[in-house]
Amino acid sequence: MDYFPIFVKLQEQPCLIVGAGDIAARKIPLLIRAGAHLTVLAPEISAAVLELQQRHPEQLQMRRKTFSAEDIQDHALVVSATSNADVNSQVAAAAKQRHIPVNVVDAPELCSFIFPAIIDRSPVIAAVSTGGTAPVLTRLLRARLESIIHPGFGKLAGLAGKFRSQVKQRIRQPRQRRIFWEKILQGPVAEQIFSGNQETAEQMLQQALQSQDSQQLQQGEVYLVGAGPGDPDLLTFRALRLMQQADVIVYDRLVSPEVLDLARRDSEKIYVGKQRQNHSLPQESINVLLARLAKAGKRVVRLKGGDPFIFGRGGEEMETLLEQGIPFQVVPGISAASGCAAYAGIPLTHRDYAQSCTFVTGHLKDGSINLNWKQLAAPNQTIVIYMGLIGLRCICQSLIDNGSPRDLPVALIQQGTTSRQRIVTGTLGTMPDIVDRQQISPPTLIIIGNVVKLRQHLAWFKSATKTPPTIPQPT
């Protein structure tokens, strides 16, 4: 180990920065955040540093002079940030002589300490360093850590700190205490913190503590999670985290196998998929199932394709839970409209072609398609139709009957965002016949509007299924 990582308390500590140019201006905010009292020493002070001083007058003072060795005295930490190699060496030598930690920016050989990349979730802090060898790698590692250390970790640590002694008093056995904390820090209490419900989290922790054997933590919870349109890379961090903690995953047909594969290995997976006409589990039974699992103390992820609140009946499922007093959360997902449009190279709005975009369902409860055709046939808009394949002929004809041009472009996207994505294009006049001649496999999304033309230039995603972009032909 070339450098030993330690965390230094700099609150109200006098620190010296030699140099007052751009390099100094980059380091100053970090030390200010750590609460240090800084003296910036240089013959000339840059505008950037002066601005910092105006913002933090109590923490930042200036000394306009050239450096000499005695300036080092009485400082807890020294940073040399000048572009003058001689001055940098003098600062390093003076600091080392007095055993004061010194960093010379961009000169590792002169440093007695180096700045790591910091992930700040105070009081949780993670620091990464490659020992000055590969700054880009440091940045990449930091980005990864940023994504897995939830922004709410600071609050979670705060909660643990607040209850620490109380828990210690109540649960005397260290092993029992560890199990208790493990449950708190990765269970429903943590999720409440991450959702910003500090008060609820504290209540739950209190209850768990009262029952001592942590029975209260046995209460289950349901997470209604949007699984996105298919590509697992389009999941949200929260969706992934909850899927990896879940005891049970209740999923349906639209959830792609690749997404399901990311769930916790030993979680129970229950399929409640619906095929058109062939409901494998009626909605009522799904609602009851979710409530029953949660009451048995399970953490249930109800995984739904796309976004749960867009043609997902998510609202209905949550109503049952609400009635029965079962806690739940909703995690949005990328809806088929956004996913398919992006992967097909069709912007849903465009200044020249569409000032609005409407999502409609092509499949109503009683099998009819009863939409506001007059409104949908108006120009300068995009219409996205979910569940529209069976009704496609009726949809196209109704739009034409209500004034849409026959040559208005239409795209049908099959299994959008997956490696099986396939796109068929045509116009209101031609599309029904074109689709009749193709073998189409669900799910499919239909986009109608002049924005479909943009696909000619913007199609970027290459799926395994070959579909050269076709230009809609006027009829």
CA distance 227 to 310: 12
For ligand SAH, give the closer residue by CB, 32 or 412: 412
Write down the least CB distance from residue 284 to ligand SAH, Å: 19
Is 417 near ligand SAH (CB under 6 A)?
yes
Residues catalogued as catalytic: 252, 274
For ligand SAH, give the closer residue by CB, 162 or 276: 276
Is 332 near ligand SAH (CB under 6 A)?
no
CA distance 244 to 155: 21
Write down the least CB distance from residue 229 to ligand SAH, Å: 4
Identified binder of ligand SAH from the candidate list 336, 392, 428, 435, rule CB under 6 A: 336
| Whether the bond into 469 is cis, omega within 30 of 0 | no
Residue whose token pair is 């349109």: 229
Within 13 Å, how many C-alpha atoms sit on residue 7's CB side? 13
Region near ligand SAH per CB under 6 A, out of 88-96, 115-123, 140-148, 333-341: 333-341
Q: Which two tokens stand for residue 304?
A: 């739904």
Region near ligand SAH per CB under 6 A, out of 32-40, 100-108, 289-297, 298-306: 298-306
For ligand SAH, give the closer residue by CB, 216 or 417: 417
CA distance 136 to 271: 44
Buried residues in 313-338 as b, exposed as e (16+ CB within 10 A)? ebeebbebbeeeebbbbbbbbbbbbb
Is 347 near ligand SAH (CB under 6 A)?
no
Q: What are the phi and psi torsion angles at 69 (to 5°)?
A: -55, -35
CA distance 251 to 273: 7
Q: Which of residues 435-454 bind ligand SAH (CB under 6 A)?
A: 443-445
Region near ligand SAH per CB under 6 A, out of 43-51, 78-86, 170-178, 304-312: 304-312
| Whether the bond into 442 is cis, omega within 30 of 0 | no
Per rule CB under 6 A, count of chain residues that contact ligand SAH: 22
Q: What are the phi and psi torsion angles at 205 (to 5°)?
A: -65, -45
Identified binder of ligand SAH from the candidate list 413, 428, 431, 454, rule CB under 6 A: 413
Is 410 near ligand SAH (CB under 6 A)?
no
Task: Identify which of 345, 371, 342 has the alpha carbon closest to the alpha carbon of residue 453.
Answer: 345
Q: What are the phi and psi torsion angles at 354 (to 5°)?
A: -150, 120
CA angle 367, 368, 373 (to 5 degrees): 150
Identified binder of ligand SAH from the candidate list 187, 220, 232, 306, rule CB under 6 A: 306
Write down the least CB distance from residue 254 to ligand SAH, Å: 5
Contact residues toward ligand SAH (CB under 6 A) are 229-230, 254, 304-307, 310-312, 335-336, 340, 386-387, 413, 415-417, 443-445
